Amino acid sequence: MTTRLKERGTTLGAPPIPLATDQLFSARHAEAYWQQATRCVDLVRRKVADVDRPFTGARPEELKRLFEAIDLDAPLGELRPALEELERVYLDDAVYFHHPRYVAHLNCPIVLPGILAEAILSPINSSLDTFDQSAGGTFIEQSLIEWTADRIGLGEDADGVFTSGGTQSNLMALMIARDHHGASLADHGGNKHEGLPADFRRLRILGSEVSHFSLQKSAAILGLGYQAVMPVACDAHYRMAPAALKARLEECLAMDLIPIAVVATAGTTDFGSIDPLEEIAALCREHGIWLHVDAAYGGGLLCSRRYRHRLAGIEHADSVTVDYHKTFFQPVSCSAFLVRRRRDLRHVTYHADYLNPLCQAEAGTPDQVNKSLQTTKRFDALKLWLTLRIMGADSLGEMFERVIDLAGEAHAELARHPAFEVLLDPPMSTLVFRFRPAGLDDAELDDLNAYVRTALSRSGEAVIAATRVDGKRYLKFTLLNPDTRLEDLTAIVERIVHHGRDWCDAQAPARAAAS
């Protein structure tokens, strides 16, 4: 640090630089804030209006070079040059989720009320950990938790908290399931006080073989290790098979293992498949096991009039994950973790005298930090609040229904194409397929489909996803944009065929020589 200061002609102990208080948001600078915010909004408006493809195809090494010339210790001093620089290093080559040919991951275009809420919550900068830092913000978050719990059907005793995303919510679920088990042991004072019980190496978490990877990450964080997650076989539709779950539970008993949680998925990342929640819940009740439903993707069905029935059984869960920044069309991040019994949240509670002393809880002060792994916590709930107050839940449900319907239409189109293999009639809005011209073996098909995806991205024509199923490479459309039309997907398919044929032509001489 001293060397860098000397290089800049600065010595330790030199007179301090005057504080740049003109950059602080305050009543004195409200007009400057309005002027500068307007310029930022106008920049975004112009960029979005001019976007004609979801991505420029810029490569990591190209973007990295742009940053090598930037000295973060040499401020530009004004907004204009800073925005010009930002446009060059970020906005010009950003991936634009609102574009109808962005069909890669679970990234949704976002509704205007959510964006406007960001314009409110950032300058006010409330922290939702304690009531004395957020006031009405606390009740907005609590109201939305109650609203979501009611939509799920968790009952009057339900509670929850907003989180950074599905991974954090799933971590909380498995932590509480682990500690729920620890609290049940007569010879153990609870994990919070005594650490993991002696039997912790026998603890097991059961989820389908296509459940989210956050289960393994959570198990490692919780001291149980990847080996604690036992995969359960799926049926032909990539849903957890109840018979396989029953067999796994019996296997645990036979091996003297302790299943502490079953994680059912309401919307797998690749297939959008929804596990049979009613049957899984019945098995969990029979065995006295915590049931967590990961509805990070499928949670949007809670707002759907036509497809809500697909979540039948979610009301039996002990805990639920919902990502509003997926199928509720909210800006990242906006997610929630909910429990059936509010008392179960005690496993994440710690009372700090300076922040949330026990006396405040006993007096009924609503401090969200008592329910959260986070301390400082953004007011992300405002985005969903403003959306519901302006648009209403039915509007969100109708948008999700539109992309579900589009996935069905696209499946029908691809299934009729002789050069495509489509894996599954989509239960929600993802479509897994591969370009499969005749005469290629599986290794060649893997190379072909990898090439096609890369070629699409580098051209900027479209951004699509890829995955592996049974060791084979597939392409994937993830549809979350209600403005995407079948014609957009047809155009992408045509480009897939074009790039695929280019690959085949380039490989033809080598294949001919090999034969």
In a domain? residue 81: no
- Residues 435-456 have pLDDT tens digits of 999 999 999 999 999 999 999 9
User: Is 403 in the same domain as 353?
Assistant: no
Mean of pLDDT values over 270-275: 98
In angstroms, rounded to a whole number, what is the distance separating the alpha carbons of residues 140 and 432? 39
Strands 290-295 and 319-323: parallel
Mean of pLDDT values over 247-257: 97
User: Is 431 in the same domain as 400?
Assistant: yes
Distance of CA 211 to the CA centre of its chain: 14
User: Is 173 in the same domain as 286?
Assistant: yes
Total domains in the chain come to: 2
In a domain? residue 249: yes
- Residues 344-358 have pLDDT tens digits of 999 999 899 999 999
In a domain? residue 10: no
The reported pLDDT for the residue numbered 199 is 86
- Tokens for 470, please give them: 């049974």
- The CATH number for 439's domain is 3.90.1150.10
User: Is 283 in the same domain as 332?
Assistant: yes
Q: Provide the residue range defining the domain that includes 478.
A: 394-510
In a domain? residue 161: yes
CA distances from 204 to 21, 175, 256, 264, 420 (A): 54, 12, 11, 14, 40
According to DSSP, residue 205 is labeled E
User: Is 241 in the same domain as 355?
Assistant: yes
Which residues, including other chains, have CB under 8 Å from residue 186's CB and lie 6 or more apart? Answer: none
Which residues, including other chains, have CB under 8 Å from residue 73's CB and lie 6 or more apart? Answer: 4, 8
Quote the pTM value.
0.93
User: Is 404 in the same domain as 435?
Assistant: yes
- Nearest-CA neighbor of 339 among 192, 183, 145, 141? 145
Q: Band of the pLDDT at 185, cuts 50, 70, 90?
A: confident
The reported pLDDT for the residue numbered 188 is 65
